[in-house]
Amino acid sequence: MTEFPFIKYKPRQFSESEMTQRTDDFYEYMDTRRSIRHFSNKPVPKAVIEKLVMTASTAPSGAHKQPWTFCAVSNPEIKTEIRKAAEEEEYVNYNGRMSEEWLRDLAPLQTDWQKEFLEIAPWLIIVFKKAYDIEGDEKRKNYYVNESVGLAAGFLLAAIHNAGLVSLTHTPSPMNFLQKILNRPENERPFLLIPVGYPAEEVEVPDLKRKTAEDVVIYF
């Protein structure tokens, strides 16, 4: 068993007023984040994408197993292949798999089975969860995989917004085609598909209202 050495940790601390201001500023900035379905094809540097992914990889994980792989795709041919496969699944979803209630809930967002953003966005980041690790011929268990990868995905979305870029959490279901197209090993399963880039000009989004503190916080 590998033991981690322990080192002193001294986090940054702020006065109450500065802490309050930083918290307010960060909330107000994050509250401007929106899911975008209309992207520009303006390039985004590979170095930026890598640092976004590495920021996501600072997320906590069960037993520090870090059970994730991020596939960053900019190759136009692969993006086209992903779009074709995703639209095949989404067409079936919108024409039979989804319940009437689900379709009614989606209707105000004006989504459909066509996913042109998968080709237009300069990058697609596909988040894979690792059900287990493989060391030699041995399988090693990972813990709280969905929770860990979900946290990493949240870090990634915040980092993308912080960089002045936009994103969309796309979950075509089933997503097994991503494992095949990207030739990922059996222990990796697709978790989330995130187009990343700049918004198209004159892009519009639904005028959504988020829940208030009274709706989401309970104090004891």
- Average pLDDT, stretch 8-35? 96
Residue 2 confidence (pLDDT) above 80: no
The alpha carbon torsion through 209, 156, 117, 211 (nearest 10 deg) reads: -10
Residue 22 confidence (pLDDT) above 90: yes
- Exposed e or buried b for every residue in 39-55, given b needs 16+ CB within 10 A? bbeeebeeebbeebbeb
Which helix or strand (DSSP H or E) is residue 191 part of?
strand 188-197
Q: What is the CATH number of the domain that holds 71?
A: 3.40.109.10
Q: How far apart are the first and last CA of the chain?
A: 41
In a domain, 142, yes or no: yes
* CB neighbour list of residue 111: distance below 8 Å, 6 or more residues apart: 37
Residue 1 confidence (pLDDT) above 70: no
In a domain, 215, yes or no: no
Q: Are 134 and 187 in contact (CB under 8 A)?
A: yes
In a domain, 22, yes or no: no
Q: What sign has the CA pseudo-torsion 202, 207, 211, 212?
A: positive
pLDDT reported for residue 113 = 87
In a domain, 30, yes or no: no
Residue 87 confidence (pLDDT) above 80: yes
pLDDT reported for residue 8 = 94
Whole-model pTM: value is 0.93
In a domain, 8, yes or no: no
210: which 2 tokens? 């988020």
Segments forming the whole domain that contains residue 176: 35-198
The alpha carbon torsion through 196, 198, 199, 205 (nearest 10 deg) reads: 50
Cα–Cα distance for residue pair 103/84, rounded to 1 Å: 22
72: which 2 tokens? 């960053």
Q: Return the percentage of the chain with pLDDT > 90, whole number.
A: 78
Q: What is the pLDDT of residues 196-211, one digit of tens each?
A: 999 999 898 888 899 9
70 pLDDT tier (thresholds 50, 70, 90): very high
Q: What is the pLDDT of residues 131-182, one digit of tens each?
A: 999 988 899 999 999 999 999 999 999 999 999 999 999 988 889 999 999 9
In a domain, 193, yes or no: yes
- Average pLDDT, stretch 116-125? 97
- Average pLDDT, stretch 15-41? 96
In a domain, 216, yes or no: no
Q: Are 192 and 127 in contact (CB under 8 A)?
A: yes
The number of domains in the chain is 1
In a domain, 26, yes or no: no
Q: Can you tell me which residue has the tokens 């916080």?
A: 217
Cα–Cα distance for residue pair 113/158, rounded to 1 Å: 26
